[in-house]
Chains A and B, each alone.
Chain A
Amino acid sequence: MKSGSNLETVLNSGEFAVTAELGPPKSANKEFVIKRAQILKSYVDAANLTDNQTAIVRMSSTAAARIILDEGVEPVIQITCRDRNRIAIQSDVLGAAALGVKNILCITGDHQCFGNHPDSKNVFDIDSIQLVSLLKMMRDEQKVLGGDTIKTPPKIFIGAAANPFADPLEFRVIRLEKKINAGADFIQTQCIFDLNRFSKWMNMVEDKGLDKKTHILAGVTPIKSYNMAKHMAENVSGVSVPQEILKRMESAKDPKEEGVNICIETIEKLKKIKGIHGIHIMAVQWEDIIPEIVKRIGLYPRPQI
C-alpha cells in the first residue's frame, strides 16, 4: 500500500469506487462543512475538497479535510498549481499529511480571470504533471524537489485529472499517459455528458493499455435545470453537453428529477466500461442528492474494508 487510504484499499480490492466533490464554503463556517460531510458519510469512499475552485476564494481544502476527517469521511484534497509555488505546495503537502490526509488530486487550476480576484498574479511555477512527479518523489524517494531528505515522508495516494472533452483529442491521451508515467495512482475525469466523445477517448486509452496502469474514475454531474445545462454547454470551457440532453432538460416536467435520471443512465453506461474503476460525482451545490444517486445505481452500501 502506498498510502493506506480507504480509496486506495477499495480500488485495489477491485470494487467499483465512489467519490464525490465537496466544495468548501466562501466563509469560515465549519458547520457548513460538517453538514455536507454528514450527508456524504457512508455513501462515498472519499470526498474531494476543491481548491478555490474557479479561482473563487474559499476555505482551504486542507482545513476542510481535517473537519471531514473528524466526521469520519476520508478526504481527497485538490491542489492547483495556480496559487502556490513549489515551496508552498510542498509545505502544504507535509502539513496535510500530518493532519491525516492520504489522497491528493493534482490539477492545473482554472485561470484567475474566472474568479473573484481577476487582478491577482498567478503562479504556475510547476504544472500538474510536474506536481504528480513531485508528490511521487516526496513519497517514494523521501525527498523534496530541491533534494533535501524528508525524514517522515507523506504517504499519499496520488491523483490527477483528465479531460476527454478538451482539445486536441489525441493530446488528451498523451497527457493521461504522461500523468500515469509521472506517478498518478488514480484519475478523476471531467464530468461526462457526451458519451460518444468519452468512448472515443476511452478506446484510445484502452488501446494503449493505460486503463491497466491506473484507476480511472469517471466524473458525472447531476444537472438541476435547463439553465444550468445551457450554461455548462456554452460557458464552461472543456465541458461538452450534447443536444439530446439539452432537449430532455428543456422539456422535462420535473427538471431536477430528469437531471438525476440522466446522471443515473450515464453511470449505468459507464459502469459497463471495463477500464472504469469508479465514479466521481460532482454535484455542484447539490450534495444532498448524492445518497439518492448512489442508492439508485446500487452502489450502496459502500464496502467496509
Chain B
Amino acid sequence: MIVADRKPLQEILDMVEDCEKLLIVGCNACVAICMAGGEKEVSELASLVKIAKKKQGKNIEITERVTERQCEEEFVKEIEKEIKGHDIILSMACGVGVQLIAKMYEDRLVYPALNTKFMGLPEEQGQWAETCAGCGDCRLADFGGVCPVARCSKNLLNGPCGGSVDGKCEVDPDNIECAWQLIFDKMKLLGQVDKLLKIEPAKSWKTSRDGGPRKVIKEDVRL
C-alpha cells in the first residue's frame, strides 16, 4: 500500500490561514489503512483545526468527507457538490488523490494534509516500512524476494557495503535492517548463495523515474 503520514499541524494551519469554509477530504483506501487519512483522521484533524482557529479568535466552518478511493474520478465525483461549495479543499489522500481533485476542479485550491512517503508494508502496530521503489523492472526473483533497490540505503546490487553490522544498516542501526543481510539469509535458506556470485551489471534506471514521468499503456484494452 501507499504509506503516508499527516503533516505537522502548524504547516496545515498556515495553509488554511485565511480560510473560513474548509472541506477536508479523506480517502478510504491505503491512507485509511495506514491510519493517516481515513474517516477517523479526518475528524481528528477537523477538531484540531477548529480548536486552533478558536484560540486565534477566528471562525471556520469545516465539512468532512471521505471518498472510497481518491485516485479515481468516479469516486471524487460523488462529492462534487461539496468541492464546488468550498474555498479550500484539504485532501487527506496520498499525492495522487490531491492531484486528481486539483485536476478535476481547476478553479479550486487543493492542499495536501499528508506527506506521501512510500509503497510499503506494516511491520508492527503503528510502524510501516518502505518495500518497493517502483523501479519498473522488478528483480525480486534474483534476490530471494527482498528488494535491494528499495531496501538497501545505497540500492546496491552486488552485495552489502562495509557498513552492514549485525544485520543492521549503517544509516540507522536501531531502525533499518540491512537488506543484504536479509537477501543473504534468504538465499542461504533457498540454497542459492551461488547466484549471488554473479556480477550484476549496472542497472538501467530508464524504467525508473529517471526515464521521465512514466506511463503504462495497455494497447489491448485501449478504445
Contacts and interface: CB of A to CB of B under 8 A. Distances in A.
B173 interface: yes
A130 B200 contact: yes
Contacts of A111: 153-154, 163, 170-171
A167 B202 contact: no
B156 A124 contact: yes
B181 A166 contact: no
Contacts of A130: 157-158, 199-202
A108 B197 contact: no
Nearest to A176: B159
Contacts of B158: 127-130, 175, 178
Contacts of A177: 197
Contact of A167 (B157, B167, B193): B167
B162 A237 contact: yes
Interface in A145-195: 145, 161, 163, 165-168, 170-171, 174-175, 177-178, 181-182, 190
Contacts of B156: 108, 124, 127
Nearest to A162: B162
B27 interface: no
Contacts of B171: 111, 113
Interface string B126-168: 0000000000000000000000000001111111111111110
B148 to A, nearest CB: 10
A100 B84 CA distance: 68
Interface in A101-151: 108-111, 113-114, 122, 124-130, 133-134, 145
Contacts of B118: none
B60 interface: no
Contacts, number: 99
Given A124-B154, A125-B205, A168 B199 contact: no
A237 B153 contact: no
Given A127-B154, A238-B170, A178 B202 contact: no
Given A126-B202, A238-B170, A168 B160 contact: yes
Interface of B: 153-167, 170-173, 178, 180-181, 184-185, 193, 196-197, 199-202, 205
A108 B162 contact: yes
B82 to A, nearest CB: 38
Contact of B202 (A122, A134, A181, A238): A134
A215 interface: no
A181 B171 CA distance: 29
A6 B142 CA distance: 41
A280 interface: no
A82 interface: yes
Contacts of A170: 184, 193
Contacts of B153: 111
A168 B162 contact: no
Given A111-B154, A126-B202, A174-B196, A166 B159 contact: no
Interface string A232-256: 0000011000000000000000000
Given A167-B167, A238-B170, A127 B157 contact: yes
B197 A125 contact: no
A175 B199 CA distance: 10
Contacts of B172: 113
A238 B161 CA distance: 9
A190 B163 contact: no
A86 interface: yes
Contacts of A238: 162-165, 170
Contact of B160 (A122, A133, A145, A167): A167
Contact of B161 (A108, A114, A182): A108
Residue from B157, B159, B172 having most chain A Cβ neighbours under 10 A: B159
B161 A166 contact: yes
Contacts of A129: 158-159, 199-200
A145 B205 CA distance: 14
B159 A110 contact: no
Given A166-B160, A175-B160, A133 B197 contact: no
A79 B147 CA distance: 26
Nearest to A177: B197
Given A127-B156, A167-B178, A190-B162, 19 more contacts: A81-B154, A111-B163, A111-B170, A114-B170, A127-B154, A127-B157, A130-B157, A130-B201, A166-B164, A167-B181, A171-B160, A178-B158, A178-B197, A237-B163, A237-B164, A237-B170, A237-B173, A238-B164, A238-B170
Nearest to B197: A174
